[in-house]
Structure 1
Amino acid sequence: MAIFEERGNKEMSKNNAAGIVGIITTKPRVVMDAPTWAQKVYEAVLEYRRPSGTKDKFFVQFPGQAAGTKKALLNIKKGKEVLIGGEVRTQNMDNPEPHEPRVKICIYAKVIAVNDPPADPQNEVKLCGHICKDPRIATARFGKIAVTSFIVAVNSHHGADYIPCVCWRNVAEAAAKLKVGAYVEITGRMQSREYKKKMPDGKPPYLATTHEVSVTQLGFAEDTDEQKTEGSEKTC
């Protein structure tokens, strides 16, 4: 297993794990109704401020029971800083508008709690899965690989999530060697990124937002035989 790292990381232990501290910026709304408060599922927008000052915004979904008690759930509202422990999930959207993504990416919280007092910044993701699409490579001057992006399929009890990932610098150079089916172990952080999306029929492009995992550490098998062995036998 080859390891390529951009910076240090804190170890996590699941095939799909995310821990983020951020601010709830919208009123949580019910996206799946249920007879009891514990079974209802809510959605809100979570804002995370990077050390650089850049703000990332993500969708976060959480069942009422993730808060622990009904009283704690009522305290999860717009303007509150929360700590979330959960996983990255993807959801195909039915009949999206032209300006909406076809695949929704969110943080699904298994635990959510209001921080009082405020906590240190946190944004950590760990994924274990298989490359399901050949990487896309962008080069800088003199043909040097600058950015590599790919999608990793992560299996779980609710099915597979197809999570976009992006790598930079030396991690991008390593990721450029990956092929479909390769087993990878990823450590990184969730981020949001704006881009201009082209519209059909020659209409002006508009500013869209995508969500992805920015990879800081990438582990993978160095040859095809090893990839198959590790992919079928190894778990995080």
Structure 2
Amino acid sequence: MSDKMIENNQVTIIGEIASEFRFSHEVFGEGFYTVEVLVRRLSNSEDKIPLMVSERLVDVDQDYRGEFIYVTGQFRSYNRHEETKNRLVLSVFVRELTFVEEEIDASKTNQIILEGFLCKLPVYRKTPLGREIADLLLAVNRPYGKSDYIPCICWGRNARYASGFPVGQHVQLIGRIQSRNYVKKLSETETETRTAYEVSVSKLDCLEND
């Protein structure tokens, strides 16, 4: 993998393991497992972030709930087919994993750097209290012609700035991965609470398109 492909998607997270490892899939004899970590915000609320971890990085048969880990990797997506629709599933693909004694300053526990291209027009709006928000969908290239599609949300001046971006705009951003719960209507009488993941953007820059 080229250094450029690694640099355009960098995640660093420190958090508390909140689940057991669950088998996801196998590639060329290497098993991959999902696990959730709780990452504290400055407000002391928490984001529950899913990790995708190779069995070669950690003993996936052990229960590490309550322990803290430091991970680096990439934020990745894939489409999971559900009935008649595809659902975008996001997780942090872990490259390095280290157990740490305790959680450190919350301002340093969750950072992501992305470089990619807008694949749809930004959706700009204001909250009832007048706060400006813009939703972006960023395509981040991976080797072998693959891309990850990462939902991002901008606030305030960044939202106003991003609202005028065209499809295909080349951007670089710094932010944090956050989780939020929402209610999905399955039928007239049935609903389900799901968790969505997105990047909350703190810094946004336009780059020249190649």
TM tier, smaller: 0.7 to 0.9
Task: Tell me the percent identity.
Answer: 27
Cα distance, 1:195–1:95 mapped onto 2, change above 3 Å? closer
Q: Counterparts in 2 of 1:74-89, with a 5 A limit? A: 77-89=64-76
Q: 2:12, 2:63 → 1: CA distance?
A: 17
Q: TM-score, normalised by structure 2?
A: 0.85
In structure 1, list runs of 5 or more residues that go unmatched. 1-12, 222-229
Deviates more, 1:152-161 or 1:126-135: 152-161
Q: Which residue of 2 aligns with 1:153?
A: 139
Which structure dedicates a bigger proportion of its chain to strand? Answer: 2
Q: Point out which structure has higher relative CO (alpha carbons under 8 A, 6+ apart).
A: 1
Please tell me whether Structure 1 or Structure 2 has the larger radius of gyration of its CA atoms.
Answer: 1
8 A contact 1:76–1:113 mirrored in 2: no
8 A contact 2:70–2:99 mirrored in 1: yes
Which structure dedicates a bigger proportion of its chain to helix? Answer: 1
Q: Which residue of 2 aligns with 1:189?
A: 176
Q: 2:28, 2:206 → 1: CA distance?
A: 45
Q: Which amino acid aligns with 2:209?
A: G
Deviations 1:110-152 (A, max 9, x none): 001111244443100000000001111112469x661000100
8 A contact 1:137–1:145 mirrored in 2: no
8 A contact 1:18–1:87 mirrored in 2: yes
Q: 2:84, 2:99 → 1: CA distance?
A: 34
Q: TM-score, normalised by structure 1?
A: 0.76
In structure 2, list runs of 5 or more residues that go unmatched. 1-5
Count of paired positions: 202
Q: 1:83, 1:75 → 2: CA distance?
A: 17
CA RMSD of aligned residues (A): 2.6
Matched, 1:211 2:202: no
Cα distance, 1:51–1:179 mapped onto 2, change above 3 Å? same
Q: Counterparts in 2 of 1:1-236, with a 5 A limit? A: 14-33=7-26, 39-67=30-58, 77-95=64-82, 102-121=87-106, 122-140=109-127, 146-157=132-143, 159-200=146-187, 202-203=188-189, 205-221=191-207, 230-232=208-210
